[in-house]
Structure 1
Amino acid sequence: MPNASARPKHSRRARRRRREDSARNELVSSSLESAQQCLFSQDYGTAFVHYLLVLNLAPVFKDLAKESFRFTLFKWAEELDSVGRIQDLFDCYEQALEVFPADEVILNSMGEHLFKMGFRDEAAGHFHKALKLRPDYPEARENFYRVANWLVERWHFLMLNDRRRNQKYQQAIQKAVQSGCNTVLDIGTGTGILGMCAKKAGAAEVYACELSKTMYELACEVVTANGMDGSIKIVHMKSLEMEVPKDIPHRVSLVVTETVDAGLFGEGIMESLIHAWHHLLLPPQRGENEFREPSATGRVIPAGATVFGMAVECAEIRRHHRLCVSEVGGLSVAAAGELRSPVSCSTEPDDSMEPYTTERLSRLPGGYKPLTEPFTALNIDFNNVQELEGLSSREVQKLCLPVSQEGELDALAVWFQLHLDEESSLSTGPQEDTCWEQAIYPVHDAKGFVLKAGDELIVEVSCRDAYLRLCSVAVLRDGREIRLDKHHDSGFSGNPVSVPNPEAELCSALACLQTGQNLTKDFCMLECSEMALLNNQDYHRSFCSAIGKLISQMKVKCLNQEQGSTVQSDCSDLLYVLDVSEGFSLLSLIAASHGHVKAFSSVEKTKQQEVIRRLARSNNISEQHLEFWLNHTEDEQGMLKRPSREKLWSAIILDCVETCGLIRQKLMEKASLARCLLEEGGRIFPERIVVYGMLVESDMLLLESAVQGQEPTLGFNIAPFINQFTVPVHVFLDFSTLECRHLSETVELFVLDLMDTNANYTNREVKVQATAAGRLTAVPFWYHIHLDQEISVSTLNQNSHWKQAAAVLQQPLEVRAGDWVLLAVKLHKSTISISARVVDAPGPTE
């Protein structure tokens, strides 16, 4: 009977479950005990496996074991990281997130590892998820702010705020669609704005691609919010990987793109368009007399570009790309060999070098001087695939440029005019009100060479590796050619100088030829910020004085102790100085130059260590007094520990401020550890940092920080989505050239005491009186770095290698002259945040 057969089955099933439950409970119990024992014995890998088993079998233990599980995961991840088992590390995090998919702490920690490995897109996704789960989670918020600048670069905001640029693109797309281009592909869609313009103009089909995962997800959100998710297909891939009919059903009649950088070709527009013409676009119209249906032909917006350039003198560019000083902190640097930045252009491609950097010429501190009139370097037609394909193999073009005024040759500055169609164009020139920077090709080989009015500068232009390359190779003066490039086979091959007669000029050329081989052999590359640091004489002089004072004091102290003590002390022992600066630093060598010092340097790169050794020899510093600390240190955490023979440090040099203008992460933790490693009377350099700031009104900072205004961009709702990536602190700021109105005097905002932990705080309120009426939009800030009580350097100094930063207010604050503004300044893990409100005047005791 059906009922009779059903009952026994049910009964057997119940009995089997009870036996399974009993065995499971026993396994969970023993695994939990094993996990705790392994944790106690610091066997984190085994403990992690046991915890995973427990939490998968018995989810009821999740709340109880969460903290221990996190601790175990993080410790095991540290071990895996230290031995380079990166895949295993991420596998563990994936397993942990399967158990705790909504754990903001695990998400944030995995994001930190991803960011450390260079996976910025993925890291940001994890930080973003952590913030959505817990908006007040400070660690995730700080991490997200730091990574947001890379993911959604500030130029996105500037471009969306550039109404003129947006309208011109919209008009060009509308004209093309209305003339018959009704199938469209938007390459590098970003926020999706150009694709939406095409759809709004009436295109029947619109496709888009985006490589950045963050921008792809953002574009999908924007398109959906504007009701076009069913009519615009966005794919997360390079256009070079797209195929018909796999990714789009057929070839399109219009490609729209703005995958151009300041040097025009740096974002790969040439490769993208060549591939598009061969695989994604309909063939172009062959000629004016050949009739073809508009829908059967393909075209590109922008239609082409004209590239312009000029030679310039600019001290700011010079000091970031070549050595401009003969001594650093009392050390002669003549033996350093050739030091230069990684930005160097030659007609022969070099993978170790970037052909150009970018600057906004109108904002360079100290300005610039044009040495030639603007010249046309290149014309390119994006609708001519043969021209695009032939560009890389085109012969090097030589241009002869008349020099219009005397000056030192520091760089070639380059910009372009983007021709959207036959009627409309956009210029990225230095005199334009534009969101674009200019491409800068610094000149290394002509160190100190002065061009004179009447000279002719010979510039070579090429595109051999799909980058636009401009190289200053020679100067024609009084009928003679003076070579500026060292690698040429004849003529001048070193650093030519202006000399009064041909005989002296020939001697100079022969001398350069003799030393050219050594210069090439001793070549060493430094980052642009490291070059600027070497050229920062004020900083090195100040440090030399401060370390010299300390060493003298320590020697006197030792002698006094020796004289006043019955126990014999040994003052012949060396003083130990540790420099843990980031990147290339000569501070350890400067310390060793004072004598009686064993200095430890944190410089890691072999070539850079060779430079320091050469400088030590040439400045009569024994190699026994200099050691490269990280050569003997396996992990970063071991940087701060006792030197050999258990002797404590006399001085520890900390790198406190990032070049971008922010306090270095974990600075206070490093200072706390460093204090424990100092001998009596020893000191941390710097000992104190004072943060200064000022109230300003700056529309430019607002435009670079978020999409402004209440009106939709070209009628599209974009701002709420991209403004999620707004960061409250603007970095890499040149305050001396910032377009702003000062609304107050300079005011002290915060103090970080690296020598006295009891003097520190995390919050401070500062009352500032407005000296002018206006809209308070931001508080730029900078640092006075106190090496000791009397000696300090400012990051606002004109020769500083540091930039400044600014806290941008979420909402501008209207102030009148005489108003008092209360600034609430907070420091969390080296991140400064500032909020402001108008308050009553302070009382007599304030």
Structure 2
Amino acid sequence: RVGTQEVAGVCLPKSVQFFSPTHTSAGSEETVEPYTTEKLSRISGGYVPLTGPCQLMTVDFNDLQELKSLATRKPWKLSLPVTEGGILDAIVVWFVLHLDDEHTLSTSPSEETCWEQAVYPVQGLLDYSVKTGDTVMMEVCCQDCYLKIQKISFLPSECQMDFSDRDETLSLGNEAELCNALAGLQTTSKQDGNSQVCVLESTEIALLNNVPYHECFKAAMGNVVLSLHPSKDLQSMDVDGHGSAINHQESQNKSSLDETPDPLYILDVSEGFSILPIIAGKLGPVRAYSSVEKEQHQAALNIISEANHFPKETLEFWLSHLEDESVVLQRPKSDKLWSIIILDVIETSGLIQQEVMEKAAISRCLLHSGGKIFPQYVLVYGMLVESESLLLESAVQGTEPTLGFNIAPFINQFKVPVRVYLDLSTLPCLPLSKPAELLRLDLMNPLLNDSSREVKVHICESGQVTAIPFWYHIHLDEDHSLNTSDVSSHWKQAAVVLDEPIQVKVGDELVLDVQHHKSNISITVKR
């Protein structure tokens, strides 16, 4: 969920309610997976169990009648006592499969297993803080053959009552006590009739929560705006995000006496939901164009824009101006050029976006004198590691795991050379070298690009090299950069897994042959 009310000076009003796709209200007819999946043991920052585990349900696969009745079974309620205080972020579910009376398979977070756990994000509560003694309540059902957990709420410890020794008929005093308890119940907040629901993918929510990302873009864009409009006009803009409609009215009255500068044109063609155009709109006299496609996202951006007292012409949606939506990169007007073009260079998965260098070549032709492409260049970094986990998850290792059957030669023909969506901060691995710069991708100056390069890497720890994780330093300009391997980053990392591990010892030197072709990176290792 979105955990901030302000991003780089832009206020996110409460009238916009952000939800993930897994959010479904009780009784919803939508057949959408009501959960996502995560490997809890590799969650960045770890996790804290707030309650003990409990059994949600039992299914007997030998009972045909029970299987048929699952989908029609009425929802049932469940209560769990809070054993440790914290923030209620999600309900996590796993299974224990009884193959027979003696053999079981468990997907529990505490087990070494190839399975992930099902995660039901908790959304829409008035408050997410729970303390020891509170009770978390939920409703469970098997609608559409999905296990659904809905109507999640919690009852504070001071509002709980013990009716075990009382008559069924409540006295007036007990009724008052019950009303107080219900008043303290932290139930899911109902959607305001005037609010705009905005459904974002988990990657988009992670991006919106990435404060350093937005602050970095704000500073870099501010430099460009200042260099192209080094006038007093910028002083009247609400640069710090604390202005009001009155300030804007005053600035408009004041500027009407002077000659109004031509606005700078800024285009954001990054993927998915982005508030960068609104951040740009707070930096000076600009016309910011967003490339978001979904009407729901456009409506949310309009509300955010209005809440930040923007003139209507400050934010526009670029696709509505295009006759051919397949040709996104073109002039803002026949006689105008862009001052800033924001491109998505790195996918959240850790790979380079397809055709990004081709887009950069077109963008360079559409820039105003002094204009910039963001980012201006990207440096690729990597290091050598020993990771049994990556090895076991990338290819079948011999015949022992398959009980002597020689399956590996066939299955391993279909293995992928690069693993994606990795989190280096939690990946079980032993670094065998220090990080090294592998490549430079320059979007502003193609003469500085590397399409291939040999990099010498010194071994600082003995072991066997099984993989080469890589990540990026994204340089918006010379002063502002983002590291995609930072713990706070919304980006994940990728890794090339070697076909055969290489045994090394301290002091050895390996040569990495790095190739970049059509947005794909390949790395081979030579002694």
TM-score (norm 2): 0.88
Q: What does residue 467 of structure 1 align with? A: 146
Deviations 1:634-667 (A, max 9, x none): 4443100011142111110001111100000000
SS in structure 1 at match of 2:326: helix
Moved more, 329-338 or 818-827: 329-338
Question: Could you tell me which amino acid in structure 2 is paired with residue 816 of structure 1?
Answer: K
Residues 547 and 506 (structure 1), Cα distance of their counterparts in 2 relative to 1, 3 Å cut:
same
Moved more, 694-703 or 337-346: 337-346
Residue from 121, 130, 154 that aligns with 1:451: 130
- Across the aligned residues of Structure 1 and Structure 2, the Cα RMSD in angstroms comes to 2.4
Q: What does residue 198 of structure 2 align with? A: 524
Q: CA deviation at 1:703?
A: 1.1
Question: Relative contact order (alpha carbons < 8 A, sep ≥ 6): 1 or 2 greater?
Answer: 2
**2:298 corresponds to 1:609:** yes
Q: What does residue 91 of structure 1 align with? A: none
Question: Could you tell me which amino acid in structure 1 is paired with residue 213 of structure 2?
Answer: Y
Query: 2: CA distance between counterparts of 1:430 and 1:507?
Result: 33
Q: CA deviation at 1:812?
A: 0.9
Q: CA deviation at 1:508?
A: 11
Query: 2: CA distance between counterparts of 1:506 and 1:383?
Result: 45
Query: 1: CA distance between counterparts of 2:33 and 2:281?
Result: 35
Query: 1: CA distance between counterparts of 2:496 and 2:127?
Result: 39
> Tell me, which stretches of 5 or more residues in structure 2 are unaligned?
162-178, 234-258
Q: CA deviation at 1:782?
A: 0.7
Report if the CA contact (8 A) 2:125-2:153 is conserved. Answer: no
Query: 1: CA distance between counterparts of 2:475 and 2:156?
Result: 50
Deviations 1:686-712 (A, max 9, x none): 101111111100011111111112558
Deviations 1:281-303 (A, max 9, x none): xxxxxxxxxxxxxxxxxxxxxxx
Question: Could you tell me which amino acid in structure 1 is paired with residue 30 of structure 2?
Answer: D
Report if the CA contact (8 A) 1:712-1:718 is conserved. Answer: no
Report if the CA contact (8 A) 1:689-1:785 is conserved. Answer: yes
Report if the CA contact (8 A) 1:347-1:469 is conserved. Answer: no
Deviations 1:247-296 (A, max 9, x none): xxxxxxxxxxxxxxxxxxxxxxxxxxxxxxxxxxxxxxxxxxxxxxxxxx
Question: Could you tell me which amino acid in structure 2 is paired with residue 741 of structure 1?
Answer: L
**2:67 corresponds to 1:388:** yes
SS in structure 1 at match of 2:402: coil
Q: CA deviation at 1:504?
A: 13
Query: 1: CA distance between counterparts of 2:320 and 2:160?
Result: 48
> Tell me, which stretches of 5 or more residues in structure 1 are unaligned?
1-321, 483-501, 560-569, 839-846
Query: 1: CA distance between counterparts of 2:264 and 2:60?
Result: 66
Q: What does residue 416 of structure 1 align with? A: 95
SS in structure 2 at match of 1:793: strand
Query: 1: CA distance between counterparts of 2:316 and 2:130?
Result: 44
Report if the CA contact (8 A) 1:770-1:819 is conserved. Answer: yes
Residues 406 and 688 (structure 1), Cα distance of their counterparts in 2 relative to 1, 3 Å cut:
same
TM-score (norm 1): 0.55
Residues 448 and 751 (structure 1), Cα distance of their counterparts in 2 relative to 1, 3 Å cut:
farther
Moved more, 334-343 or 533-542: 334-343
**2:267 corresponds to 1:578:** yes
Query: 2: CA distance between counterparts of 1:717 and 1:650?
Result: 60
SS in structure 2 at match of 1:381: coil
SS in structure 1 at match of 2:456: strand
Q: What does residue 325 of structure 1 align with? A: 4
Equivalent runs, 1:66-105 vs 2, <5 Å: none
Q: What does residue 688 of structure 1 align with? A: 377
**2:231 corresponds to 1:552:** no
SS in structure 2 at match of 1:750: strand
Q: What does residue 533 of structure 1 align with? A: 207
SS in structure 1 at match of 2:441: strand
Query: 2: CA distance between counterparts of 1:814 and 1:336?
Result: 58
Q: What does residue 433 of structure 1 align with? A: 112
Residues 352 and 609 (structure 1), Cα distance of their counterparts in 2 relative to 1, 3 Å cut:
farther
Structure 1: 4+ residue segments shifted above 4 A: 502-510
SS in structure 1 at match of 2:297: helix
Q: CA deviation at 1:717?
A: 2.9
Residues 508 and 432 (structure 1), Cα distance of their counterparts in 2 relative to 1, 3 Å cut:
closer
Q: CA deviation at 1:477?
A: 2.5
Report if the CA contact (8 A) 2:339-2:368 is conserved. Answer: yes
Equivalent runs, 1:711-750 vs 2, <5 Å: 713-750=402-439
Query: 2: CA distance between counterparts of 1:819 and 1:805?
Result: 25
Q: What does residue 792 of structure 1 align with? A: 481
Question: Could you tell me which amino acid in structure 2 is paired with residue 644 of structure 1?
Answer: K
Q: CA deviation at 1:423?
A: 2.2
Identity within the alignment, %: 50
Query: 2: CA distance between counterparts of 1:712 and 1:477?
Result: 49
Residues 815 and 425 (structure 1), Cα distance of their counterparts in 2 relative to 1, 3 Å cut:
same
Q: How many residues align?
A: 485
Question: Could you tell me which amino acid in structure 1 is paired with residue 390 of structure 2?
Answer: L
Q: CA deviation at 1:472?
A: 5.1
Report if the CA contact (8 A) 1:345-1:469 is conserved. Answer: no
**2:455 corresponds to 1:776:** no
SS in structure 1 at match of 2:313: helix
Bigger radius of gyration, 1 or 2?
Answer: 1
SS in structure 2 at match of 1:814: strand
Query: 2: CA distance between counterparts of 1:724 and 1:550?
Result: 50
Query: 2: CA distance between counterparts of 1:352 and 1:332?
Result: 34
Query: 1: CA distance between counterparts of 2:49 and 2:401?
Result: 40
Q: CA deviation at 1:572?
A: 1.3
Residue from 345, 349, 353 that aligns with 1:660: 349
Q: CA deviation at 1:516?
A: 4.0
Report if the CA contact (8 A) 2:78-2:139 is conserved. Answer: yes
Q: What does residue 366 of structure 1 align with? A: 45
Query: 2: CA distance between counterparts of 1:455 and 1:711?
Result: 48
From the two aligned structures, give the one with the greater helix fraction.
Answer: 1
SS in structure 2 at match of 1:670: helix
Report if the CA contact (8 A) 1:768-1:821 is conserved. Answer: yes
Query: 1: CA distance between counterparts of 2:5 and 2:117?
Result: 30
